[in-house]
Amino acid sequence: MRPNRLLVQAYIFRGARLWLLTRAAIAGVFLLAGTDPLRLPTSVVATLIGLTVAVCFLDTYRHREGVFLGNVGVGSLMLAAIFVTPALIGELTLRLLAATL
């Protein structure tokens, strides 16, 4: 069963917003540590993407949307795929931007 297009857009937007907030917080930590936040190792980027997905799930839990998502046929694996999409696109964009600078 495919979820509604508007539902997917809303959760992708939420994932993008939370990725930006998570990335900005981590970038601030790396700047305070004296490290370039655009040139992070792949393991740190993978951890950052995992942290973003965890924050998205916590936000979904905070909004108490579990029953709603279950009723429209969105499982946790599909929701994780929806949340990981903007984080992957954002990190790939940052990698390309860092490579050109």
The domain limits of the chain are: 5-100
Q: What is the pLDDT of residue 1?
A: 64
Position 72: which residue type?
A: V
* Rounded Cα–Cα distance for residues 24 and 66 (Å): 28
Q: What is the pLDDT of residue 101?
A: 81
Q: What is the pLDDT of residue 26?
A: 93
Q: What is the pLDDT of residue 3?
A: 73
Instruction: Compute CA distances 60 → 27, 32, 36, 97, whole Å.
Output: 24, 30, 31, 31
pLDDT by residue, tens only, the chain of 101 residues: 677 889 999 999 999 999 999 999 999 999 999 998 988 899 999 999 999 999 999 999 999 999 999 898 899 999 999 999 999 999 999 999 988 88
Could you tell me which of 15, 8, 32 has the C-alpha nearest to residue 84? 15
Q: Model-level pTM?
A: 0.89
* Rounded Cα–Cα distance for residues 85 and 88 (Å): 5
